């Protein structure tokens, strides 16, 4: 006996409402005119890539950070209006951002 049959036994007069279909609209990131800065730093002896200069909302920047971390399969965080990625991935990150329509400026080394 599955869940639907059990519910019919408990509530015999209930008529289920027809299910509404909700269309999923993909989220559009704000693409700015000014270039974002992609720089390399060493923190506590470890290489990190830092992306700064996004003018859109923090929620969009967090979505962008998650996409980058997922595509590169690396760890990282979003702190103080910057995305911090573990490792030196400047070239790969710049390619990903350019595919999305962002202008990127490489800083350092």
- Tens digit of each residue's pLDDT (9 = 90 or more) over 34-57: 889 999 999 899 999 999 988 888
Q: How far is CA 14 from the centre of its chain?
A: 42
Helix (H) or strand (E) segment spanning residue 36: strand 36-43
**What is the structure's pLDDT at 27?**
66
Q: What is the pTM of this model?
A: 0.70
Q: CA 33 to CA 105: how far, in whole Å?
A: 12
Pick from 58, 92, 60, 94: nearest CA to 73: 92
Q: What are the phi and psi torsion angles at 7 (to 5°)?
A: -65, -40
Helix (H) or strand (E) segment spanning residue 65: helix 58-72
Structural domains present in the chain: 31-108 (3.30.780.10)
DSSP-derived secondary structure letter, 80? T
């Amino acid at each position: 006996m599955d869940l639907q049959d059990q519910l019919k036994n408990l509530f015999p007069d209930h008529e289920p409402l027809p299910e509404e279909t909700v269309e999923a609209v993909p989220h559009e990131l704000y693409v700015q005119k000014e270039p974002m800065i992609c720089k390399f730093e060493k923190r506590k002896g470890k290489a990190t890539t830092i992306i700064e200069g996004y003018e859109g909302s923090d929620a969009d920047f967090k979505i962008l950070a998650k996409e980058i971390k997922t595509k590169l399969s690396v760890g990282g965080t979003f702190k103080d209006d910057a995305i911090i990625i573990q490792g030196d991935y400047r070239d790969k990150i710049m390619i990903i951002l350019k595919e999305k329509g962002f202008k990127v400026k490489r800083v350092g080394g």
